[in-house]
Amino acid sequence: SQQGEEDPQALSIQEGENATMNCSYKTSINNLQWYRQNSGRGLVHLILIRSNEREKHSGRLRVTLDTSKKSSSLLITASRAADTASYFCATEEGDSSYKLIFGSGTRLLVRP
Amino acid sequence: EAGVAQSPRYKIIEKRQSVAFWCNPISGHATLYWYQQILGQGPKLLIQFQNNGVVDDSQLPKDRFSAERLKGVDSTLKIQPAKLEDSAVYLCASSFRTNEKLFFGSGTQLSVL
């Protein structure tokens, strides 16, 4: 079953531009996480934001959470070619706080 | 800190054959996850262990897939017999606390011919 769904499915930007990806989910959550996956590799954890938080920063990453709209966004500022990857949001499934569900991801291409 | 170790990295088999994947999580991580990722899709949870007990295996095709985590450390995932649609990357992950910051291995890319 799908909990988080990213938008857009694919994004192509020029190096130096900002990239924004969105995630929508269906049921209440305890936290929402963002992961990055480079081609052919495992996923790497980026940020975890809890339901009582509205915004969180980590380096060039900024994550926002709007629980009233059941949505989150990931902003990458001053993008680099090395940011080219797929980005996934992950949330618990419904009332099952122990089952983490991933969306289908946003494929980001940063052109040099 | 050593990461999550998985082997093999690649595996090619014919349909109806069997295959096994191995995972060694980060030391001290009680929760271990196996995900299946089909090309172009997000990871799908197959089975989740808390120590050596199964927390969730609702999406594990139990007629052909099996997994165990003996002594609450290493884990193996087996497919027998394999089908063409099992071609995917099998990812193992572990976490210190359930569903908080998962650490993933590099995965095993399985091709079923």
Give me the residues paired with residue A49 across strands.
Answer: A32
pLDDT digits (tens, 9 = 90+) for A86-111: 999 999 865 555 778 899 999 999 99
Residue type, B46: L
- Residues A88, B42: C-beta atoms closer than 8 Å: yes
Q: What are the angstrom distances between the C-alpha of B63 and each of A16, B48, B86, B106? A: 50, 18, 13, 26
Largest distance between two CA atoms of chain A: 43
Q: Does A10 touch chain B (CB under 8 A)?
A: no
The pLDDT of residue A2 = 52
pLDDT at A1 over 50: no
pLDDT digits (tens, 9 = 90+) for B61-79: 999 999 999 888 999 999 9
What residues of chain A lie within 8 A of the CB of B104, using their CB?
A: 42-44
| pLDDT-derived band at B1, boundaries 50, 70, 90 | low
